[in-house]
Amino acid sequence: MTLFEDLDKRLLPGFKRQRVQTTEGEILALVGGEGPPLLMLHGDPQTHLCWHGIAPRLAEDYSVVLTDLRGRGESHKPGLSPGHLAYAKRTYAKEQLEVMEALGFECFRLVGHDRGARVARRMALDHPERIERLAIMDIVPALDFYAQTTAQIAQDYYYFFFLTQPAPIPESLIRGDPEIFMGQILTGLPGQTAPYDPEAFKAYIAASTSEAAIVAFCECFRAGLSQDIGHDRDDRAAGRTIACPTLVMWGDQGVVGKNFDIRSIWKAWAPDSRFEPMPCGHFIPEEEPDRALRALREFLL
């Protein structure tokens, strides 16, 4: 049994591991519980394990699906692509829809944190007929983020600008000590106090420091500065907004909570939105799992 399989057994009891073949590659999915379908998408530089404090309890009421997004964990990892299209959030979203279809779920509730929240938001904009309710954790959309960045935000979230440099500049520098780089993102953000499960933390480092994972990490941010902003501009010009009820959560001690007008930004994108600040930093699922669970249970009904 691998480290990842052992951790799934311990931290996500009752969840069954599955390999789902999509058009472009294989995605790891874990499914647990019974009831209405609920897809939960993890953030960076993490895997599906980030939901271990929440997902088993939600599985009491829902058919919960946890995936490793492309480029992370045990899912396939495309390399460099023209225009960074392989890591546009639109591409991620289409692939996650394929996963849900393969599992027999046409429409579903959707929760995302960090990178997973960006994918979830794009899925709700591009495929409104598929998403019944949307919960977003600790992001602002790419267009708003880059348009409103200040010197302080650039200092705190330096990697949003470092990782977008042309290949192989950031990849080569990260290779010098990938464990320190990924560990700093997991533990060094302002307001960061996440009490990680020690073995889960080791798994995040192991999963994010391979050559393919480092390329994927950089490409995701390059796509954010190019493809994702372009898609946001198109939506704004067309007046497209998120149609379903949306819960926006953020850590009020983190970079996003301290530097952005969350309510104003998200009301413009999701008219039917409600807001739930959390007394923590960025990594809500592991810093405040009980509070997050209560908010999700109330919202997802």
User: Active site residue: 8, 44, 114, 156, which one?
Assistant: 114
Give the least confident one: 29-43, 99-113, 178-192: 178-192
Residue 255 · residue 157 · CB < 8 Å = yes
131-137 vs 246-251, strand pairing mode: parallel
**What is the average pLDDT score of the chain?**
97
Q: How confident is residue 182, by pLDDT bands cut at 50, 70 and 90?
A: very high
Q: Which two tokens stand for residue 32?
A: 């647990």
Residue 68 annotated as catalytic: no
How many helices and strands (H and E) does the chain possess? 16, 8
d(CA 140, CA 258): 12
Do the beta carbons of residue 125 and residue 102 sit within 8 Å? Answer: no
Count Cα atoms within 13 angstroms, Cβ side, for 206.
12
Q: Does the pLDDT value for residue 1 go beyond 70?
A: no
List pLDDT tens digits, range 238-256: 999 999 999 999 999 999 9
What pLDDT does residue 188 have?
A: 85
Q: What is the pTM of this model?
A: 0.97
For the residues of 90-133, what is the DSSP string, one character each?
Answer: HHHHHHHHHHHHHTT-SSEEEEEETHHHHHHHHHHHH-TTTEEE
pLDDT at 192 over 90: no
Residue 194 — pLDDT band, cuts 50, 70, 90? confident
Residue 73 φ/ψ, nearest 5 degrees: 55, -130
pLDDT grade, residue 175 (50/70/90)? very high
pLDDT tens, position by position, 241-297: 999 999 999 999 999 999 999 999 999 999 999 999 999 999 999 999 999 999 999
Mean pLDDT of 150-166: 96
CA separation for the pair 196, 199 (Å, rounded) = 8
Smallest CA-to-CA distance from 254 within 126, 148, 156, 107 is with 156
The stretches of 33-88 forming alpha helices (DSSP H) are 55-58
pLDDT above 90: residue 37: yes
Q: Is 114 tagged catalytic?
A: yes
C-alpha dist (Å) from residue 46 to 136, 242, 298: 16, 26, 26
pLDDT of the residue at 236: 98
pLDDT digits (tens, 9 = 90+) for 41-92: 999 999 999 999 999 999 999 999 999 999 999 999 999 999 999 999 999 9
